Amino acid sequence: MKEPLSNPFILALTAHNLTVEIHKHSAYQIVLSNDSPFTSTINGQLHRDIQGFLIKPQVPHLCVAEKGTLSVLNIEPYSNVGLELSKSFNPAQACILFHSRAEILNYFKIETDHFDIRSVISALLLKTPEKQYDERVTKMVEYIRTNFFDRDINPQTFSDLVFLSPSRLASLFKEQTGSSLSKYLLWTRLRQAIYVTLSEKDKGLTEIAYYTGFYDLPQLNKYMYEMFGMPPTALKHNSDLIQVY
């Protein structure tokens, strides 16, 4: 079995029989059908029988896919991947629609008739310029990966870890990743909260919020909705989400 491709600023879900009410969120979002066409309303305009879309942050939209499965990628807008995606849009453009499988393959430069969520993530990462990360950035990332649940993490924590002033390390992290250190910490906590929500259905959401570094469930709800347009309750009870990468 292949290991799933991973990027700290990409949250990938596969959803079955998904219906989502109108919402907007902070992430870039790519929604692709794995089989049947679906319907979406984006910025008040109805689009029937499409195969997918790429949407900018803060654009109101909804999806109705009562048959089949969708692959959904949420991408932090100020990460290097998100900044690369921003070049796809002109200022007045809210979304890019895909009406056929061929359009998806062409857009992502995928050289096979068969594609899945892995090949799309690979294509996104290939379009993003490679960067050799400073060892201090790597050290901060590793610290967050193993200590994301610690609610006492603050700028001084990282300053003591890599022997830089809080302002200098914040500048270094943003220069290297495109995103702020605090946003990286938030994405790590949200990814873990979603993983636990979907993989341990018996666990209560309040317990999950506390376990993943949030002060309480209302705080987790707030950030989940802001980032992904859906609270954890919807993920757990109202959506049939079958896999998290």
pLDDT for position 3: 39
State percent of the chain over pLDDT 90.
42
Weakest-pLDDT range from 188-192, 209-213, 227-231: 227-231
Say how far residue 92 (Cα) sits from the centre of its chain.
Answer: 23
Query: In whole angstroms, what is the distance from residue 224 CA to residue 234 CA?
Result: 10
List pLDDT tens digits, range 20-60. 778 888 889 999 998 889 999 999 999 999 999 999 998 99
Q: Residue 187, exposed/middle/buried by CB under 10 A (0-12, 13-18, 19+)?
A: buried
Q: Are 85 and 24 in contact (CB under 8 A)?
A: no
User: Is there a domain that residue 244 lies in?
Assistant: no
Q: Report the number of distinct structural domains present in the chain.
A: 2
List pLDDT tens digits, range 60-88. 998 888 788 888 888 888 788 888 899 99
List pLDDT tens digits, range 73-131. 888 887 888 888 999 999 889 999 999 999 999 999 988 777 778 888 888 888 887 77
List pLDDT tens digits, range 137-188. 989 988 998 999 999 999 999 999 999 999 999 999 988 887 789 988 998 8
- Give the CATH number for residue 107: 2.60.120
Q: Are 225 and 233 in contact (CB under 8 A)?
A: no
DSSP 3-state of 99: coil
pLDDT for position 229: 75
pTM, two decimals, is: 0.79
- Nearest Cα to 115, choosing from 130, 127, 100, 129? 100
Answer with the one of 107, 127, 147 that is the final residue of a domain: 127
Query: In whole angstroms, what is the distance from residue 74 CA to residue 28 CA?
Result: 6
DSSP 3-state of 71: strand
Query: In whole angstroms, what is the distance from residue 183 CA to residue 64 CA?
Result: 30
Instruction: Kindly report the average pLDDT of the chain as a whole number.
Output: 86
- Give the CATH number for residue 193: 1.10.10.60
Rg from Cα positions in the chain: 18
Q: Looking at the structure, do residues 80 and 168 belong to the same domain, yes or no?
A: no
E strands, the chain, in order: 10-23, 28-33, 38-42, 45-50, 52-55, 61-75, 95-98, 240-244
